[in-house]
Structure 1
Amino acid sequence: MPFFSIIIPLYNKANSIAQTLHSVINQNFRDYEIIIINDGSTDQSEEAVHCFDDDRIRYILTENQGVSKARNLGIQKAKGTLIAFLDADDYWYPNHLDILATLYQKFPEAGLYTTSYEKRFNSKSTHIVNFKNIDPTGKRFMIIDDFFDSSLIDPIAWTSACAVPKRIIDILGAFDISITHGAGEDTDLWIRIALRYNVVLATFITATYHLDATNRISNTNTLQRSFIDLSKFEKEEKQNISLKNYLDQNRFAISLQYRMAGDHKTAKKYRKEIDFINLNTKQKILIRLPKSLLLLSKKIQTFLILKAGIKLSSFT
């Protein structure tokens, strides 16, 4: 039985899947299986995968049903102790699985294992992740005291840098398939885990988040996406100030997306659920701006990140 089962959902990533797979094959830690779920790709993704001759690769072709169903199918087929996730356009440094394995050895009862990572916006703009009150390059293996508070700048848990014990998923369930097109299915699972188990972090940079990749599901038209149901945590957020703040940051981000898409009714619904004490001055201004000014603000933000190289919070 392999130690890691690596789940890679694949949909029209012919231009990137080879580089992603090479980053797995080149891992220092070798005890793993790779489960690739081709979610109905219509490009040359299948041919790119079949160029790899490695008996650790298990390839499954399905009709297109979305990333959550693809990951869940991979989890069902998994034989490993830890489930590691990797999107078909992201990248692991050779130390990634080695660091995760060490983290597991140090904290075998934890529910979520994750590492530091970097975010690539284009060839000239790559930034190390920014955690609240935690040095992402500190070379430490640590239990996160407050997962929700620590994730208020950049998220502690990013899917392609995470691993979850198979037993935890068996208890809590896998990804919520009612959430579509990358609209929070991973966030939903991390919240459910963090409410019941320790989240542990290795502050080593082991992965690259390719935000400049083509065909990202998060770029799907907002009105075609089904977002995470944050109200399902209503009971918990009343008892957990950090969770309330974290959920309000997500509500803020989703509300802005609906406002920019022209769905003012849904934007208002999310806005009404926010305690404005959790928003900073800039956010309070943005959430009241008309669509035209919001779109202008978005263009300016994109310029600052891509051209000026300025780092911004995930929620601003």
Structure 2
Amino acid sequence: MENTLVSIILPTYNRASFLGKALESVLAQTYVHWECIIIDDGSTDDTVDVIARYDDSRFIYLYQDNQGVSSARNSGIKVCNGGIMALLDSDDEWMPEKLATQLAYMKNHGYEICQTEEIWFRGGKRVNQPKKYAKPEGWFFEASLEMCLISPSCTMFTERAWNDIGPFDTNMPSCEDYDMWLRACLQYPVGLVRENLTVKHGGRPDQLSVCVPCADRYRILALMKILQSQKLDAEQRDTTMSSLRRKVEIYMQGCEKRGKNNEADTVWNLFCMVCDGKKVPLNTLC
């Protein structure tokens, strides 16, 4: 992998005040065989002016009307030239050794998908990660059912893996990464570089985890999708059904507290259909 072209997929939407740091961290990489595809998802701020400051042919700028982060990532991967892809959100950044270290780790251990440890900032202040977010390594599909255990900006994967697990679901305005990594963890072991090579910034109102309501709704959708994929063995199906039931019950309780009984009934009816092995109209939850 020493001379492998790495395609960095960087979607952005109205993040001009953060984008420069992300691009600087790409330029600072000790591994130089990369292209960075910046997908501007309909920004109306100074994003274009920020990008114009970087005169490097390895930066490739694409513009599309606002369609969401899943569409932006898919668009970037569709036109990329590398055999390895690395995701970077426009409000995050990398340590200089990130690409080189991760590539070497994938080569030495034979991983098709790999991530790094990360440093968290919330509201501009460094915070410690709760233990429940500790990243595992290897095969951990069952653990990934409860919460998303892979961070996009930490992740690198091969073209082969993408062809098996992609694309991101453009119908999901939230939890699209949870949905994608469920498929990944079902089919591949995931490597972990135990070094803090990614800096993740959060705690702002413009983030999907904050501005898109009812994220649990989309986690339920992701679990229903994986159950309908017909790729689970009997044990995996039982474990996934148990996780889905817990999430459905919690979600219904929240709906009932807010007086959304019809929504609770809809989710329950879909869950019963999944239990009975019936085809579920998943667009009902989108």
The answer as to 2:263 corresponding to 1:266 is yes
When the two structures are superposed, what TM-score results if normalisation uses the length of structure 2? Answer: 0.78
Alpha-carbon distance change, 27 to 87 in structure 1, aligned in 2, over 3 angstroms? same
Alpha-carbon distance change, 23 to 187 in structure 1, aligned in 2, over 3 angstroms? same
Q: Which residue of 2 aligns with 1:93?
A: 95
Q: Which of 22, 32, 48 lines up with 2:50 in the alignment?
A: 48
The answer as to 2:235 corresponding to 1:239 is yes
Structure with the higher fraction of residues in helix conformation: 2
Contact 1:17 1:88 in 2 (8 A): yes
Q: Which residue of 1 aligns with 2:143?
A: 149
- Distance in 1 (alpha carbons) for counterparts of 2:151 and 2:41: 21
Contact 2:38 2:59 in 1 (8 A): yes
Amino acid at match of 2:160: R
Q: Which residue of 1 aligns with 2:80?
A: 78
Deviations 1:146-178 (A, max 9, x none): 2432775x7431111111211222233311111
Q: Which residue of 2 aligns with 1:166?
A: 159
Once the two structures are superposed, the pairs formed by residues 1-316 of structure 1 within 5 Å of their partners are 2-108=4-110, 110-128=111-129, 130=131, 143-149=137-143, 152=146, 155-180=148-173, 183-213=174-204, 215-222=206-213, 227-228=218-219, 229=221, 230-234=223-227, 236=232, 239-240=235-236, 243-244=240-241, 247=244, 263-267=260-264
Deviation at 1:200, TM superposition (A): 1.4
Alpha-carbon distance change, 19 to 168 in structure 1, aligned in 2, over 3 angstroms? same
For structure 1, which runs of at least 5 residues remain unmatched after alignment?
137-141, 275-316
Which moves more between the two structures, 165-174 or 190-199? 165-174
Contact 1:149 1:243 in 2 (8 A): no
Contact 1:175 1:189 in 2 (8 A): yes
Aligned to 2:101, what secondary structure does the other structure show? helix
For structure 2, which runs of at least 5 residues remain unmatched after alignment?
273-286
Alpha-carbon distance change, 203 to 245 in structure 1, aligned in 2, over 3 angstroms? farther
When the two structures are superposed, what TM-score results if normalisation uses the length of structure 1? Answer: 0.71
Contact 2:144 2:185 in 1 (8 A): no
Deviation at 1:253, TM superposition (A): 7.4
CA RMSD of aligned residues (A): 3.2
- Distance in 1 (alpha carbons) for counterparts of 2:113 and 2:164: 13
